[in-house]
Amino acid sequence: MEVSVIGSSQVNLGKSELACREVGFCNIKDSRSFSNSRVCFGRSSSWKKVGMRFTVRALQYEALPHQISSPSAKTSKSPDGVRLFVGLPLDAVSSECNSVNHARAISAGLKALKLLGVEGVELPIWWGIVEKESMGNYDWSGYLAIAEMVQKAGLKLHVTLCFHGSKTPCIPLPKWVSQIGESEPGIFFTDRSGQLYKECLSFAADDLPVFDGKTPEQVYQSFCQSFKSTFSPFMGSTITGISMGLGPDGELRYPSHHQLSKNTHGVGEFQCYDQNMLRFLKEHAEASGNPLWGLGGPHDAPTYDQPPNATGFFMDGGSWESPYGNFFLSWYSNMLITHGDRLLSLAATTFRDTGVATYGKIPLMHSWYRTRSHPSELTAGLYNTANRDGYEAMAEIFAKNSCKMICPGMDLLDAYQPNETLSSPELLLAQVMAACRKHGVKVSGQNSSDSGGSGALEQIKKNLTGDNVLDLFMYNRMGAYFFSPEHFPSFTSFVHSLNQPKLHTDDLPDEHEEGIESLVKSSESSMVLQAT
């Protein structure tokens, strides 16, 4: 296979064998050009699973002599200078951290992104992989290999330090942490029925010596110091940003919605029933002169799957507006904010002299936003209601620690939300952005879905321009669908629309040029990654 891409110089994309993967693949039979982006992609006749093993072919680069004069690829930025990153697969590194999963496909993907002008990629680094076996025993080898791949490809790298676990793909917390949790279940969040959430440590344990005399905060700090030392050759050059994991899915929130049934739109549950949270609640209630308020969470709050009006707490005029409601919600939110402040301060202090920017991610709990009580936000620890701006306190800790805020959901439109949830991601995002502008916090964006459908890419583009001044945008996430003919051409057009003026008809390639400007051209070659 031989394909050309027009730029300041031509690039020949050859073919090479990849390792066998247990993934689906695409047969590309017909070529189809997209003249606006000046790149031609194959049209998929079918996507299908085939057996257990097959050979995946990907793309390699070979420089060709300069033949056609045209503008060279530039790093993708919106008119306001937003830098574009693409997330790598969540399972990019093996569970033993000794190899890179789908390495050659990732390498080919990096080259394709470089051709598009994308500035860099985001790499999730998992606590449960690096420090898997014992406290203080780190293995960074797989992640170092990816950093070298990214550097070789001429891209930048944004790293996310994940101090949580994941169900899909299955990446648990470190084994030694889970073992301690068997005898000390208080290190995990607990709901009203006693269910433990074992993919993240309770915020109440942050400064408690639960790990053989060490606190979780001290363990996080040692992890960050080891990362800083190990990756020092990449700091400030290849690695330009580090996100500090702050809670479930890396976000600064409680795991209030983890037990929601599929296709339901409940408000979630308060996560304040582990022994340490209850002890702090009791102490706070006694100090406030209301000891009976410290016996547990709200007795009249709904369960995970119930709507706000199922019980009295979130109704208009309900307990959330009472003196008790304000007491509990203030305490619950303050525990979250204190945790976020601790970890952002830790990250800012550790990486201050590296020339690398530090980030933290907040959630976008937009269900029930059009109600007065905002119950999905309250159970997640965000004390934001019709009477109170809960994002002021968040913006303040980011400003205090000179950290940048990552906001997800910039692809979401109100028009596509279920009517029954009274949701408004657009209004919520506007509120968050206003709080950040007030406190001088720089904002970065993420999308919540990789489908790119229903106007998602246009919505992202809208959020990258206008009054929103964003630092960077991270597109989630590289995988089989990302590089599919159903998605990649749209993403390519999106990227080019960020940094290139609309081409005049005289500048568009003719049919012959379109025929050779292809990243994927035959049924023998398709770039495929395992979907994550």
* 321-339 residue pLDDT tens: 999 999 999 999 999 999 9
Q: Which of 70-84, 138-152, 277-291 has the lowest mean pLDDT?
A: 70-84
| Burial class of residue 207 (count of CB atoms within 10 Å of its CB; 0-12, 13-18, 19+) | middle
Tens-digit pLDDT profile for residues 357-378 = 999 999 999 999 999 999 999 9
Is residue 269 within 8 Å of residue 303, measured between CB atoms?
A: yes
Average pLDDT, the chain: 82
Q: How confident is the model at residue 518, as a pLDDT? A: 43
22 compared with 489, residue with greater pLDDT: 489
Q: Using the predicted structure, report yes or no on whether residue 256 has a pLDDT greater than 60.
A: yes
| Tally of CB atoms within 10 A around 516 | 17
Model confidence at 10, pLDDT cuts 50, 70, 90, reads very low
pLDDT at 61: 33
501-519 tens-digit pLDDT:
444 444 433 443 333 234 4
Q: Which pLDDT does position 34 carry in this prediction?
A: 34
Q: What is the pLDDT of residue 144?
A: 98
**Which DSSP category does 472 fall into?**
E
* pLDDT higher than threshold 70 for residue 18: no
Q: Looking at 401-510, list the stretches that DSSP marks H as alpha helix, in order from N- to C-terminal side.
A: 425-439, 456-463, 488-499
What pLDDT is attached to residue 451?
Answer: 60
Q: How far apart are CA 189 and CA 195, in angstroms?
A: 8
How much is the pLDDT for 532?
Answer: 35
The per-residue pLDDT for range 302-313, each reduced to its tens digit, is 999 999 999 999
pLDDT digits (tens, 9 = 90+) for 433-446: 999 999 999 999 99
What pLDDT was estimated at residue 259? Answer: 81
Q: How confident is the model at residue 477 (pLDDT cuts 50, 70, 90)?
A: very high
Q: Is the pLDDT of residue 265 over 60?
A: yes
pLDDT for position 350: 98
Confidence of residue 76 (pLDDT cuts 50, 70, 90): low
Place of tokens 């009517």: 419
- Report yes or no: 79 and 468 within 8 Å, Cβ to Cβ: no
Using CA atoms, how far apart are residues 154 and 52, in angstroms rounded to an integer?
A: 34
User: Peptide bond before 352: cis, by omega within 30 degrees of 0?
Assistant: no
Q: At residue 35, does pLDDT exceed 80?
A: no
* Inter-residue contact 364 to 425 (CB < 8 Å): yes
- What Å distances lie between residue 209 and 135, 184, 215, 225, 279, CA to CA? 13, 12, 4, 19, 16
CATH architecture, range 92-409+420-441: Alpha-Beta Barrel (3.20)
**What pLDDT, on the 0 to 100 scale, is given for residue 210?**
97
* Average confidence (pLDDT) over 452-473: 82
Give the model's pLDDT for residue 255: 98
pLDDT mean over 402-411: 97
Determine the average pLDDT of the residues in 289-317: 96
282-286, 447-451, 506-510: range with highest mean pLDDT: 282-286
Residue 53: band (very low, low, confident or very high) from pLDDT cuts 50, 70, 90:
very low
Give residue 450's pLDDT. 64
Q: Which two tokens stand for residue 406?
A: 């990552």
